Every structure is written in structure tokens, then in C-alpha cells.
A and B are shown apart, each in its own frame.
Chain A
């Protein structure tokens, strides 16, 4: 006999309790601390900070623990926390030219001022499982090289710009506020400030696939990695009441400047074009993907035919956010029986009409 689906409240409470249990896992295994996650799963923390749009390592590490390692769930936790925080000001634009470099490579020049600095990279590791890593072991201290205070690492794109071979960065209109899609709904067409903000918090997998698609002909833009740099930059806040600029501390950033297909016109000499990627932490894959997609989205600006998904602003910006995507995809598991019932009713009506038609046309068919 029919038993009404009651007891939702108790079911939810019990499910949460079970989740707590599963999160903890075997009680005989020592519990993970957020500090361990921050220190030893640092790249996961970087991704959660980037897509969560909040630079707070401890919070991101805690979110990863709470989410049982599900990074999109952790990103969601961070976003929902971030949205409740008050805004007390806007920092000055960061100067990545003054970054304390930990990694800096260029694919366009063999050597350059400041040098190529590999830093901590997987790039030239052989992807062999390191079975020794399964056990605790002593890790050698890294080697360091003395860095003089006069070691300048100018941005590669600035050096190309000195020869006027790359498009100039647009003069920014100081009176025009920078767009913020967390405070105003996104409207189309969107300017580059909003597009970059959207991409900066976009899903890494989505950006990667779109960036990849431009390399395979769906909006090709002939990219060169002018430079990737990773390191610490200082965040400064102007306090007009006190007439001073205060340093709020440093954040780790990864910046990717792509140098792309040149453009010229009757009035302008040909110059390379730019694609830009920036990310919290050490997130090279996302910074590179972002730079490819940024350039692809500038198709209209350069009068290029838009034929790839990566060049389609509405498509890209509307589907890049994984918190939105996962919410809407996963909501399909919520009850839909009212709508399904409406579909059933119409389907049955159409079928009974079909059967009636079949029955009435049967004598003719027999002729």
C-alpha cells in the first residue's frame, strides 16, 4: 500500500551524518589537517582559490577537506563564503613586472634579460609512478642561486612592444570603473574586462578544452608563449584619507602572455596581437588556456570570422562557471514528478488517439 514520502527532514539529517562519517573514513588512519592539504596538495588549493575567486589558502584547504577532495564542491564552498564578505576597497592594479620571480619561461626567445627560470615544474619529469613516495622519506633541500637586487626581469611583451611589434595595451579610461560580474549581471556584448574576469574564475577543464579547440582549427590564432611567469606580487591599497599607499601583503600569481597572429591595416603597420591569462597561485594550465580563449574572444575586434565555439562570447561566458554548471546539471536529480506526470498524460492521450485512428482506418487498410 502507498506510503507517502514523509520524513524528509530526518532523512536529510541522517544523510549528513553519514557524509561526516564517510569524510572521516577509517578512524585508524590519521585525520588530514587543512595545513597538510595547504602544504602538500598546494596545487589543488591554488585551483580552488582561483575558481573560488578568493585568495585564502587556509580557507581553500579547509574547503577541500570538507568537500572530500571534490574540487568543484570546494570551489562552491569558497564562492558562497566569498559572496558574504564586505568590500572595503579596491587595490591598485598589481604590477607583474615587479614580481618576485619563482618561475619565468619564454618560448619566443632563447635567452633574455632575467633569464629562463624553470622553477618547480613537472615539465621535464618522466611520468613514472614514484613508488618511493608511498613511504615517508627525507627530501633534499632545494638549491638556491643568489639573486642580486638589480636582477630585472622585464616582461617579454614589453620588450616586443619596445620595437612596436605587438599591439599596444589599450589606454585605460581611469574614469570608467572596471566591470564586476559578481556585482552586476553579465550583459552581452561584454567588454574585455568582464570577459577576463569571467575566464579568470572559469572552470579549468572548460578553458582547457576551448583553448585546445583553437589549436585544432576551431578559431585558430597562431599563439606563441611570449612568457609565463609565476611568483609573488605585492597588493597595495590607496588610503586617500591618510594620503598613503599601504601594502596588504603578497599573493602568488601565474601570468601567461600569448603572442598571436599579427594584424595590420591600411593605416596601421602589422603588429602581433595579445592573449592574456592570469591566475592565483601556480596554475599554469589555466593561465595558458585563458590566454588562448581571451585571444579567441577578441575575434570581432580584429575582424576575424567567428566560426569556433571559443570565439563565441555568449557561449563561452555563459558556460564557463563550474558552480553554475554543476548546479544546473545536478539539479536534474531533484524531483521532477509533476512535470513528468504532465508529459505522461499527453503521451497517453496521443497514444489513445493514435490507437483510435488505427482502429478506424483498419477497414480501409483491409481493402
Chain B
């Protein structure tokens, strides 16, 4: 284990004290027992701001053990500033091994994406959630939305989706697209693009969702049915890209649009940086990419 940095001397393993971890673990167990149900928990102030992933960080801190290997991504990438910051936080406070390789990680904390590689039974995916309540923008009151969930009264949501189709010809929800979990609770998948929604269905990995500011934890246990809401005549369709990744040529991954000049020039590249790098290491080359030689992970 690496040395705990000076700033964190005097703090427990993974920052939170054991009493707090136990409280969070209880909430997690309840969440797993009732898939898709939002369990209130006594969220703590964390040393990073609300909105930066305090819910995800608390869930990760509560489940992290010394033998875990942690991967942190934001927008699919390991090297975005907030992912770097959270990874460093756990390196300093827990001294755990970290990785950028999806397959090697036992816990993956994510903001806004699910990795492209299929997750396995031994892995846990921890989502950072800003607004856990899928009905929030239809009904701002918590007392109302909790009753709606209790009665499985989701008519309002279907009306909203129908109105989208009537107005725009499409369901105008491209991220945080609502899902029905285990045929019971409508759940917000956090702002992942709807492209990622199918990956939640029957996933081998345990999926945990932490909302720090809103003080809610919810879960999708492994191998659980997760269905994106739709209509028979307007079936759910994930976002599709018409061109491949410019660097690795992938046709099936979610792409970021990168503006290359001020004359309308743009290119599309994989949002999942590890997916892109490993494809390039395998010899796949996109239209603007250059072949690279496989490298062992330098981040460690």
C-alpha cells in the first residue's frame, strides 16, 4: 500500500469512519434487496463538493477493501480532471491499487458512462448520481414522488414520453433515460447516454447508485431485468453513430465529437478511453489514427 498523504493523516481507511461505513452498507444492502428503490441514507459532507460525485465516493468508500482494484472514469475517460481527482483521493486515503483497465478493476466508479467492455460477476459499478428521482422534473415534491413509487403510479411518466413523441416525433430524452427495474420501480440511470441503457440489463456486475446531495442510494443486483421505458409503436432505440471512431475504427462504441478547427471540422473518437486504447493496441486503426505498439500500463 502506498503511503497515505500528509493531508489525510488521522483519517480512517478510505476516509469515512467505520460507523458511517456501516450505515452506508446497511443502505446498500436494503437497496440490493429492493432493486430500483431509492433508500434514504445519512449522507455525509465529503472533502469534495456536492455535484462532484460525493454519493459515488461514499458508496465506494463503504465497499472498498484493501485488496480491491479501483478504476474511476468521468465521461468514459480515466484522465478527465474529476476522475483523476477521485482516483487520487482513494490512492491517498485507502492506498488501494488503481487501474485504467476495465477488466482488471473490481470496483469502477463512473460519472455519465458505462464502460464498453461487458462487466463481469466479480465487478461492482458505482454510479455518481445528481438527481436520483426519475419523476422529479414531473413532480418536484418528494412527498408526492414517494407516494407515486409506493403505488407504482407511473402514468405521469408515460404521458410525458407520449407528449415528447407528439411534439418532437421522438422521446426527447437522450440521457438519464428512465428504466423499469425488475418489473417494479421506475429508476433514473443517472445521466448516462441512453446508448448505455441496454448494458444495465442482466449485467453480471452489481450496480450501485449513490446520490450524496439528495441522500439516496439505489441498486441493480446482478442479472436483473432492466427495461428502458417505451411504447409498442415507438420502441426504445439507443443512439447510433453513423461513422466509426477516428482513432480505433470502432463501430459499436459511444463517440465524443471533437471540434478540430473553427471551419466546421470535427472528428469522432471513443468516449471510453480504455476501450479505444486497447483496440489500438490490438492493431485496429481508424481513419485519423496511427498504429501504436502495445504498452503496459504507465499509470501505476
Contacts and interface: CB of A to CB of B under 8 A. Distances in A.
B52 A334 contact: yes
**What does DSSP make chain B's interface, helix, strand, loop or mixed?**
loop
A2 B42 contact: no
A342 B194 contact: yes
Interface in A189-226: 189
Nearest to A184: B42
Given A323-B50, A341-B255, A8 B288 contact: no
B135 to A, nearest CB: 14
Contacts of B46: 80, 83
A131 interface: no
Interface string A138-156: 0000000000000000000
A335 B142 contact: no
A323 B45 contact: yes
A84 B172 contact: no
Interface stretch (A113-121, A239-247, A271-279, A324-332): A324-332
B235 interface: no
Contacts of A70: none
A330 B191 CA distance: 17
Contacts of A176: none
Contacts of B260: 1-2
A338 B254 contact: yes
B47 interface: yes
A189 B147 CA distance: 13
A9 B170 CA distance: 40
A8 B247 CA distance: 20
Interface of A is mostly: helix
Contact of B49 (A4, A184, A330): A330
A7 B215 CA distance: 33
Given A2-B288, A12-B85, A342 B174 contact: yes
B112 interface: yes
B267 A330 contact: no
Contacts of B195: 342
Interface string A64-79: 0000000000001001
B263 interface: no
Interface string B163-207: 000001110101110000000000000011111000000000000
Contacts of B174: 339, 342-343, 345-346
Interface residues of B, number: 65
Contacts of A83: 44-46
Interface residues of A, number: 51
B141 A314 contact: yes
A344 B81 contact: no
A187 B215 CA distance: 10
Contacts of B83: 8
Contact of B75 (A1, A12, A187, A338): A338
A349 interface: yes
Interface string B72-115: 00111101111111001000000000000000000000011100
A270 B262 CA distance: 72
A338 B142 CA distance: 28
Given A314-B141, A339-B174, A342-B175, A5 B79 contact: yes
Contact of A1 (B47, B79, B168, B288): B288
A336 B112 contact: yes
Interface string B31-59: 00000000011111111011110100000
Nearest to B299: A9
A337 interface: yes
User: Which among A8, A86, A336, A353 has the highest number of chain B CB atoms within 10 Å?
Assistant: A8
Most buried by B among A11, A83, A327, A349: A327
Nearest to A342: B174
Nearest to A187: B40
Interface string A1-32: 11011111101100000000000000000000
Contact of A334 (B74, B246, B255): B74
Contacts of B175: 338-339, 342-343
Contacts of A342: 174-175, 193-195, 239
B81 A84 contact: no
A163 B172 CA distance: 63
Interface of B: 11, 17, 40-47, 49-52, 54, 74-77, 79-85, 88, 111-113, 130, 140-143, 168-170, 172, 174-176, 191-195, 213, 215-216, 239, 241, 246-247, 254-258, 260, 267, 269, 271, 273, 288
Given A8-B81, A323-B45, A338-B112, 17 more contacts: A2-B246, A2-B247, A5-B79, A12-B85, A12-B88, A76-B49, A80-B46, A83-B45, A185-B42, A314-B142, A336-B112, A337-B75, A338-B75, A339-B112, A339-B174, A341-B255, A346-B239
Interface of A: 1-2, 4-9, 11-12, 76, 79-80, 82-84, 86, 182-189, 314, 318, 323-324, 326-332, 334-339, 341-346, 349-350, 353
22 contacts: A2-B269, A2-B288, A4-B269, A5-B79, A11-B81, A79-B45, A82-B45, A83-B44, A83-B45, A184-B42, A185-B43, A331-B51, A331-B130, A334-B111, A335-B80, A336-B191, A338-B76, A338-B191, A339-B176, A342-B193, A342-B239, A346-B170
